[in-house]
Structure 1
Amino acid sequence: MAWSTQQLATIANTTVNTVRHYHRIGLLPQPERSGNGYKRYGIPHLVRLLRIRRLRELGIALTQIAAMDHDDAASLDELRSLDAELSTTIERLTRVRAELALLLAHEVPAQTPPGFAEMAQEFSPRQQSLLAVYATVFDEPTLEAFRRALSDPDPTDEEFDRLPADATDADVADLARRMAPAARRQRRDHPELVDAAERSPHGEAAAGLILAHAVVELYNPAQLRVLQRLDQIRQDDAPADRP
C-alpha cells in the first residue's frame, strides 16, 4: 500500500506543509514516485514522521533530531538532558507557585520578596516599598537577618511610620530616644545588618546611593530628623562599644 502526501499527513495527524518542510531540511526522505509522478509513501515514511512528531512533542528541536538519527547513544543522551532540564523547570515552577500562593493568601504586592509575605501583610505602602528596595540591595544572608529582625517588631516602629511630617522637635527627640534601645538591640542581635551595604551585590557605593535615595524619597521630613537623631545616638554609643 502507498499513500499520497495528503494521506500520510492525515494519518500522522500533521499537515502537508509540515511534511514538505521535513523533506526540505532532510529529516524525512523523499519517497519513490509512481509512473504518473505522484509520491508514494510507505510504512517507513509513516514511522519516521511519527518519530519526528513524538520527539517534537517531547521538546526536542529539529536540529537535535537530525543529530540523534545517526547515533542511538546520542539519542539517549539528548533525552536524559531534556529530562534533567524539565526537572529543573518543574522545581522552579513549583517554587514559583508556592510563592504566588503566599502572595495571594496574604494579599501583598507582587514585589514582596520570598519569606516576607506573611509579615508584609501588616506593612504600610511605604514599608512595602522599602522592603522591595532592600530585597534588591542586600545579599541573601543580610536579607535573611533583616527578615529575622522584622519578625520581632518594636512598638515604636509603628509610631515612626505614622509620624506626621510637621511633628515638633520635641516629638522627634522623644521618639528617637524611645527608638534607640530597639536600634541597639538590632545592632547587637543582628550584626549582619551593620554596614550591610558593604556586602551588596551592587557594590558598597551603589548600594549606599540606592538606600539613601529610598530613605529621602519615602520618609517625610520629621521621620528623616528622627533617623538623624538615631544616627547621632549611634555615634555617641560607639566609644562605649569599643573594647
Structure 2
Amino acid sequence: MTWSTREIADLAGTTVKTVRYYHQIGLLDEPDREPNGYKRYEVHHLTRLLQIKRLTGLGVPLAQVAEMGTSGEGRASVFRTVDAELEATVRRLESIRRELATLAQPGASPDVPTGFSGLVQDLRDNDRALLTIYAQLFSDESMEVLRRTLEAHPNDDLDEAFRDLPEDADDATRQALAEQLAPFIVPGATEHGVTLEPRATTPGQAEAARRAVGHALRALYNPAQVDVLRRAHLLHEADDDGADTGEVLEWTTNSVDTGPVAVRPTW
C-alpha cells in the first residue's frame, strides 16, 4: 500500500507543506513517482515522518534531527542538551508566573519592578522610570536590598524637599539640601546606605551602565536636582578621603553616578 503526499501528511498529523520542506532540507527521502508524476509514499516514509515529528515535538531542532546518526551516545548528547534548554525554559516560565501572580495582587503596578508595588503611591513618574532602569542595570539582590531599605527607612521630609526642588532653586537652597542628602547617597556613610552592584560582567558593560545611569538622572530630574546630587557626592568625597575636589567635580558633573553605586534615593 502506498500514499499520496496529502494522505501521508494526514496520517502523520502534519501538513503537505511540512512534508515538502522535509524533502527540501534532506530530512525525508523523496519517494518514487508513478507514471502520472504523482509521488507515492511507503511505510518507511511514514515511519521516518513520525520519527521527525516526535523528535521535533520533544524540542530537538531540525538541524540536530538531520545530524543525529545511529550512535546511541550521539543521540543521548542531543537529548541532554535539549533537556538542559527545557530546564532553563521551565525556570524562566516559573519566574514569569511568579511575577504575574505579584502583578495580579491589589495595588500592584507594571510601572515599577516586581516587589516595589507597595511604594507606587509615593513615587512620581520620573522615580518609577529610574527604578525601572535600575532594575535592568543592577542585580536582583541589590534591588531587593533597595526595596527593603525604602520600605523600612522612609524619609518623607527629605523626599518631598528633593521632589519639589524647583529648577531655579538658589545656591543656598541647593547646598542645604545636598548636605542633608549626602549621608544617604554615598557608600558607608550610614547604616542605611545601599550598595547597588551592577549586572555587568565586563569593564565595558560596567562603563555603559554607569553612563546610562548618569544620562537617566539628567533626563529624569531637573538641573537643580541633578546639581544637588552632584554636590552631595562632592561633600562626601572631599570629607571622606581627602579627594581632589576639582577631580571629583569633573567626574560627578560628567557622569552624576557610577557603579557600583551606594545610594539611599530620596524617593
Q: 1:103-148 CA distances to partner (integer Å, 9 max, x unpaired)?
A: 5642142xx4455444355321121233234445546665555444
Q: 1:35-55 CA distances to partner (integer Å, 9 max, x unpaired)?
A: 887655443332222122222
Match of 1:160 in 2: 162
Match of 1:216 in 2: 218
Q: Does the Cα contact within 8 Å between 2:167 and 2:224 map onto a contact in 1?
A: yes
Q: Aligned letter for 1:164? A: P
RCO higher in 1 or 2 (8 Å CA, sep ≥ 6)?
2
Rounded to whole Å, the distance in 1 between the matches of 2:202 and 2:193 is 15
Q: 1:88-116 CA distances to partner (integer Å, 9 max, x unpaired)?
A: 1111122133234435642142xx44554
Match of 1:119 in 2: 119
Match of 1:50 in 2: 50
Match of 2:128 in 1: 128
Rounded to whole Å, the distance in 1 between the matches of 2:213 and 2:161 is 22
Rounded to whole Å, the distance in 2 between the matches of 1:46 and 1:75 is 21
Percent identical residues:
41
Normalising by the residue count of structure 2, what TM-score does the alignment of the two structures yield? 0.65
Match of 2:63 in 1: 63
Match of 2:76 in 1: 76
Query: Runs of 5+ in structure 2 lacking a partner?
Result: 243-267
Rounded to whole Å, the distance in 1 between the matches of 2:155 and 2:97 is 32
Change (3 A) 1:213 1:74: closer
Rounded to whole Å, the distance in 1 between the matches of 2:241 and 2:31 is 90
Q: List aligned pairs for 1:67-106, cutoff 5 A.
A: 67-103=67-103, 105=105, 106=108
Change (3 A) 1:200 1:192: farther
Q: Aligned letter for 2:166? A: P
**Superposed displacement of residue 85, structure 1:** 0.9
Q: Does the Cα contact within 8 Å between 1:165 and 1:221 map onto a contact in 2?
A: yes
Rounded to whole Å, the distance in 2 between the matches of 1:98 and 1:238 is 42
SS in 2 for 1:187: coil
Normalising by the residue count of structure 1, what TM-score does the alignment of the two structures yield? 0.70
Of 166-175 and 51-60, deviating more is: 166-175
SS in 1 for 2:130: helix
Query: Runs of 5+ in structure 1 lacking a partner?
Result: none
Of 43-52 and 137-146, deviating more is: 137-146
SS in 2 for 1:2: coil
Q: Does the Cα contact within 8 Å between 1:4 and 1:40 map onto a contact in 2?
A: yes
Pick the structure with more helix per residue. Answer: 1
Change (3 A) 1:89 1:168: same
What is the number of equivalent residue pairs in this alignment?
Answer: 236
Q: Aligned letter for 2:236? A: R
Q: 1:55-113 CA distances to partner (integer Å, 9 max, x unpaired)?
A: 2222223332233342344333322321221111111122133234435642142xx44
Q: Does the Cα contact within 8 Å between 1:138 and 1:200 map onto a contact in 2?
A: no
Say which one has the larger Rg. 1
Q: Does the Cα contact within 8 Å between 2:174 and 2:228 map onto a contact in 1?
A: yes
SS in 2 for 1:189: coil
Q: Does the Cα contact within 8 Å between 1:5 and 1:39 map onto a contact in 2?
A: yes
Of 162-171 and 2-11, deviating more is: 162-171
- The root-mean-square deviation of aligned C-alpha atoms, in Å, is 4.1
